[in-house]
Structure 1
């Protein structure tokens, strides 16, 4: 019977194949001159949700890197504490297997794979690999969207969601409304944006144009396949 680590290698191969499928459209687009080397091929939420077992809001609890049985690849097992299941079904705690990692002084670096550190809060698109039954991160690095919390307002925002949805659902900071919508008080500008004490200057660059967590949830439900 295959061992746990051999099954994990199967998941690694599946992830490599998935990465190849993502990069193939890039090569075709480059031949047409549509994109350059710096532009990622962005998967849409509709594509990610369709092939995901679950989409979860979770904290990374721990990670462990190890060799596969043949010592040809290093894999990393990340344990997630699921705070909320946004789509699909998930246990309260789940593991995902990620190609790459570090064992001793040996580093196996795999491009376009997500990186988790203990304490990370993120939206994770979890895919169940059919042959092995192991969970992997759907879409590679695109399947992990980091969460940042405003230190003053405690509002949570989702990083990396730009271009994920078919329509513009970006939310100007502090409004809680889609881009272009007037603030609730009818004012012409968003007074909480910028370095005026809102706390946004303490977040990641561009955080003022990212989605609030609640806006992301609404957009995600709208992108989910209809049953």
Structure 2
């Protein structure tokens, strides 16, 4: 009988630990950044064509990094050379996928507008995660290049930095040249 009580106690203890440490959904908290904040905090702002996307393990083989090569059409701020290489945490090497929430995805051949930040390691990172990359698309009716600018919540709507994942994100298409003008205005403040 003592063995049964001891085994029952062990079982209850194990179940309690199991339930206590059960994995739960974890949403990363990424500060939503306005175009003004992205402009002021970036070391380089550019737009151009994504010519190469490659993934590799870091030196200690515990993180996969994606390196994105962009051939700039123009630098709005700073200069990273004839080819800008941006590094993003996450990616795929062989059968192993390392995903980092809130990080942008780049596709070879797409045109992008990007905000970059020079990390102390010397690598150029995309500032603001997914907020720091805007895809450039041609308007089907006018043929002009457009970007989808994210509309941030009105001040006072939310006091939390945590994003409400149930609420759909709001975007507004604007002309690329208008967005560039807006960014340049923020640089002159």
Give the TM-score normalised by structure 1.
Answer: 0.60
How far off its partner does 1:152 sit?
4.2
1:134 alignment counterpart: 123
Equivalent position of 1:212 in the other structure: 175
Distance 1:52 1:152 in 2: 33
1:176 alignment counterpart: none
1:57 equivalent in alignment to 2:32: no
Q: Partner of 1:132: helix, strand, or coil?
A: coil
Size of the aligned set, in residue pairs, is: 148
CA distance in 1, matches of 2:129, 2:32: 11
Q: Tell me the alpha carbon deviations over residues 6-39 of structure 1, each in whole angstroms, 9 at most, x when there is no partner.
A: xxxxxxxxxxxxxx7xx27xxxxxxxxxxxxxxx
Matched residue, 1:147: 136
For 1:148 and 1:161, the matched residues in 2 are separated by 15
Q: Are residues 1:70 and 2:70 paired?
A: no
Q: Alpha-carbon deviation of 1:52?
A: 0.8
Find the aligned partners of 1:87 and 1:161 in 2 and give their Cα distance: 21
2:37 equivalent among 39, 43, 47: 47
User: Which structure has the highest strand share of the two?
Assistant: 2
Q: C-alpha distance in 1, partners of 2:178/2:138?
A: 14
Aligned to 2:78: 88
Structure 2 CA distance, aligned partners of 1:141 and 1:83?
Answer: 21
Q: Is the 8 A contact 2:88 2:126 kept in 1?
A: yes
Task: Give the superposition deviation at 1:60.
Answer: 0.7
Please provide the CA RMSD for this pair: 2.4
Describe the SS at the equivalent of 2:151: coil
Cα deviation code 1:133-163 (max 9, x no counterpart): 1100000111001111024421111113433
Q: Secondary structure of the equivalent of 1:160?
A: strand
Distance 2:40 2:181 in 1: 16
The structure number with the bigger radius of gyration is 2
Displaced runs of 4+ in structure 1, greater than 3 A? Answer: none
> How far does residue 115 in structure 1 lie from its aligned partner after superposition?
0.4
Instruction: Tell me how far 1:87 sits from its aligned partner.
Output: 2.0
CA drift at 1:42: 2.5
Q: Which runs of 5+ in 1 are unaligned?
A: 1-19, 25-40, 167-205
